Amino acid sequence: MNNDLYPEILSGLDGGGLNLWWNESATFIEEVGGASKIKVYPNPDKDIICIEPISNSCIIEGVFIYDLQGKEIFNIEGFENKIHLETIARGMYILKIKTSEGELTSKFIKD
């Protein structure tokens, strides 16, 4: 988007809002109904992604990672604010976070 040679991804969300990922220190905030709920960073990541609820009322119940074919490759029931991804190959993945307020889904890049 700004010709800086770093990858940038812009995607829409089913419930409204947008996600924007940029350069190697990018973060994104998941939005549902226009309100920020979850912060996930960094994106792209090396071996660890961090997940932070923005709202105290949003409780993380599980984290799931799928490849782009929809195959589940990773899951954690309960809240984990750091997810270790050393065993996952480089590429793009789908991150699904189950919360007390619904499910949030977005893509992330494992670098």
Owner of token pair 């782009």: 68
Mean pLDDT over 19-39 rounds to 52
Residue 25 belongs to some domain of the structure: yes
The answer to whether the CB of 37 falls within 8 A of the CB of 54 is yes
Handedness of CA 67, 3, 22, 12 (dihedral sign): negative
For the chain, how far is it from start to end, CA to CA, in angstroms? Answer: 20
Number of domains forming the structure of the chain: 1
Asked if residue 1 belongs to a domain, the reply is no
CATH of the domain at 39: 2.60.40.3080
> What pLDDT, on the 0 to 100 scale, is given for residue 29?
47
- The answer to whether residue 19 is domain-embedded is yes
In-domain check, residue 30: yes
Residue 27 lies in a domain: yes
76 exposure class (CB count in 10 Å sphere: 0-12, 13-18, 19+)? middle
Which amino acid makes up residue 70? G
Whether the predicted pLDDT of 16 surpasses 70: no
Q: Per-residue pLDDT for 22 more than 80?
A: no
Q: Is residue 2 part of a domain?
A: no
pLDDT tens across 47-106, in order? 898 888 877 777 888 999 999 999 999 998 877 788 899 999 999 999 988 888 788 888
